[in-house]
Structure 1
Amino acid sequence: MKSALLPKDDHNLNLPNTEFLEIKNLYKFYPKSNGSKSVVLDDINLSIGENEFISIIGHSGCGKSTLIKIVAGLETASSGAVYLEGKEIRKPGAERMMVFQNYSLLPWLTVRENIRLAVDEVLRNATRAEKVGLVNEHLAMVNLTAAADKYPDEISGGMKQRVGIARALAIRPKMLLMDEPFGALDALTRGKLQRQVLDIWENHRQAVMMITHDVDEAIYMSDRIILMTNGPAAKIGEILEVPFSHPRNRAEMRNSKAYYELRNHALNFLDKYFTTDE
């Protein structure tokens, strides 16, 4: 297991040499009425490889969701910048698709139509046959072919989230952003969907940034785990490398010494930064 407490002023020392997604000297703060600033994110530096799956963990209020929204282009940094393949991110773009904790489906459209809407909007130059093929391919990818003509209120929460994932992947983004995508699901559904998403990623590699509160989920799915200190003025505290190759077997991982060393290290970090004020 590799784990290293990052230097206070240079987080890039332990990061991979990559120029796919780069977060450089990023700050996010809000002005207060007294003229001071409320700092949410304090000097965040992070690089992500084009086929890398990372998870970000930290206590509530540490700016995890703010960070992923800045990467998505849904919020702006107060200073610093985020670059995708060398180009600064200033607004949302189809090369970065977001999957939220809530399902964000249009209730008057069927499963198929919810996915097709995204395809029509982004892939405007594709032929009708190409669009139909993409929708069908991604329905099959998330095992929803049989439910394609059902409406959101006719399917379960896990199925709704699979629609959201299929919709995000169908437009062929370069990066998938997931903000606690399994947080609203029961434990059994959560485990099945984790495996399904990991299967898809292992067969169709792309950059993934996932926000989660679940250490076991992060270890099972990620290549690296980013541990955030508490807010306000949250920083990257540590970056843990997950030493398991893909494809992954959950049972085998949980029987290994390395798994428990990594898990305990992450939990000890979170316990260190736990506060009763959450």
Structure 2
Amino acid sequence: MTQSTSYPTGQNIMVNSRQGFLEIENLVKSYPSADGSKFVVLDGVNLSINEDEFICVIGHSGCGKSTLLKIVAGLEQQTSGSVRLDGKEIRKPGAERMMVFQQYSLLPWLTVKENIRLAVDEVLKNATRAEKISIVNEHLAMVNLNAAADKYPDEISGGMKQRVGIARALAIRPKMLLMDEPFGALDALTRGKLQRQVLEIWENHKQAVMMITHDVDEALYMSDRIVLMTNGPHAKIGEILEVPFPHPRDRQELRNSREYFELRNHALNFLDRYFSHDE
């Protein structure tokens, strides 16, 4: 059943999700406490994501955003409920779900090209040497890193390191890309450029994306829907905002639109409400 809520213009914002590629149903995540009780982080999360949809998840620190992403990645197990990708239950990490972390996670003794090739060798075992070289070169070009291919991580900037991580994740052709605040450690200028670059890659090679962010403007610029989480403990999905702007998107054009600011204010008001009160 689909519900909606209104914001200042009286338009509707969709609150639940649809049948999709990733299905999260009645998900609960808890940890045992020292006194024998359970500390419930996530309590009854339901979410559906389509195979070519870009989703951003926003909420205050401690609301379980990263925990939810790790469960989808198979790095953590839910206490109850189910998580299915393409109809198959997620129980462990898999190459069909690749994660990009805020930290760059590159091997310092390997060059840019070798860091990407390592993932390709590990996952695409049946590819020929020529095919692997072609895949690596294709993804180096995709993130504009051809000139840095033979440099080591300590010889490139933070933004370039994150591009290596994104290229490495995409090079093994995952069904879904998971990103945990991938631009959080970058300066504002680099962050904006990399947002645009990632969005262009996704617009040309659409796949399911689930990204954690604290930045409402980033979410409005990049995503199709924004998942707003209530505070933890016992966090759940409070609202899901439909982002109606067509792709490709022009940042300046968006910021000049009334609808952009109405959505932005609605999301910020939601977060302000939960900032001042714990559920």
Report what 1:258 is aligned to.
Answer: 259
Query: How many angstroms does 1:5 deviate by?
Result: 4.7
Matched, 1:102 2:95: no
Report what 1:135 is aligned to.
Answer: 136
* Mapping 1:1-278, distance limit 5 Å: 4-5=4-5, 14-18=16-20, 20-275=21-276
Instruction: Say if 1:99 and 1:168, in contact at 8 Å, map to a contact too.
Output: yes
Normalising by structure 1, what TM-score? 0.94
SS of residue paired to 1:14: coil
Query: How many angstroms does 1:33 deviate by?
Result: 2.2
Query: How many angstroms does 1:276 deviate by?
Result: 8.8
Instruction: Say if 1:16 and 1:47, in contact at 8 Å, map to a contact too.
Output: yes
CA distance in 1 between counterparts of 2:191 and 2:250 reads: 16
Normalising by structure 2, what TM-score? 0.94
CA distance in 1 between counterparts of 2:63 and 2:137 reads: 39
SS of residue paired to 1:266: helix
| Structure 1 pair 75–5 and aligned structure 2 pair: CA distance change class (3 A) | farther
Report what 1:9 is aligned to.
Answer: none
Query: How many angstroms does 1:16 deviate by?
Result: 2.1
Instruction: Say if 2:16 and 2:47, in contact at 8 Å, map to a contact too.
Output: no
The answer for unaligned runs of 5 or more in structure 1 is 7-11
CA distance in 2 between counterparts of 1:17 and 1:170 reads: 28
Query: How many angstroms does 1:35 deviate by?
Result: 1.9
| Structure 1 pair 276–80 and aligned structure 2 pair: CA distance change class (3 A) | closer
| Structure 1 pair 32–108 and aligned structure 2 pair: CA distance change class (3 A) | same
Please give the per-residue CA displacement for 1:226-259, whole angstroms capped at 9, x wherever unaligned. 0000011101000000010001111111110100
Query: How many angstroms does 1:17 deviate by?
Result: 2.7
CA distance in 2 between counterparts of 1:13 and 1:250 reads: 25
Query: How many angstroms does 1:266 deviate by?
Result: 0.2
The alignment of Structure 1 onto Structure 2 pairs a total of residues equal to 270
| Structure 1 pair 182–55 and aligned structure 2 pair: CA distance change class (3 A) | same
Instruction: Say if 1:55 and 1:212, in contact at 8 Å, map to a contact too.
Output: yes
Identity %: 81
CA distance in 2 between counterparts of 1:236 and 1:4 reads: 13
Instruction: Say if 2:159 and 2:186, in contact at 8 Å, map to a contact too.
Output: yes
Paired residue type of 2:203: E
Query: How many angstroms does 1:15 deviate by?
Result: 1.4
Report what 2:9 is aligned to.
Answer: none
Paired residue type of 1:95: E
The answer for unaligned runs of 5 or more in structure 2 is 7-13
Please give the per-residue CA displacement for 1:154-209, whole angstroms capped at 9, x wherever unaligned. 00000000000000000000000000000000000000000000000000000000
Instruction: Say if 1:74 and 1:92, in contact at 8 Å, map to a contact too.
Output: yes
